[in-house]
Amino acid sequence: MQGKRLDRVNQLLKEEISILLQRELKDPRLGFVSVTEVETAQDLRTAKVFVSVLGDEAQWTGSLAALTSARGFIRNWLRQHLDLRVTPELDFRPDRSMEHAARIQALLRRVGGEAGR
């Protein structure tokens, strides 16, 4: 039963943080950021928030710095808008799986093109 509750909390945090990033945060360092996954600890005290950033390495660095500096604001906003007994501490982490998938696709296309010769 605990797993289903944790899954619901993860999904709720993912949705709310995504909305917050789109509508509330006005940091110029923040690029096009999307929340890909949230992993909350069993005790709900901490949550890893995995984010993907569209852009180069400078965009990644700036966006993660903006998220880290806004961590307190985001947590406070969640505390006010969600009905959770404990609002977790947020730890923003890069999720580079989309970059990795695009690189693999490009390599497969290149290998497929060479095989046709």
pLDDT digits (tens, 9 = 90+) for 34-46: 999 999 999 999 9
Domains of the chain: 2-115 (3.30.300.20)
pLDDT digits (tens, 9 = 90+) for 52-101: 998 888 999 999 999 999 999 999 999 999 988 899 999 999 988 777 77
Question: What is the C-alpha to C-alpha distance for residues 10 and 99, in angstroms, rounded to an integer?
Answer: 23
Q: Exposure of 28 by Cβ count < 10 A (0-12 exposed, 13-18 middle, 19+ buried)?
A: exposed
Instruction: Give the alpha-carbon dihedral of 90, 88, 5, 83, to 10 degrees.
Output: -120
Residue 112: pLDDT band (50, 70, 90) is confident
Q: In whole angstroms, what separates CA 82 from the centre of its chain?
A: 18
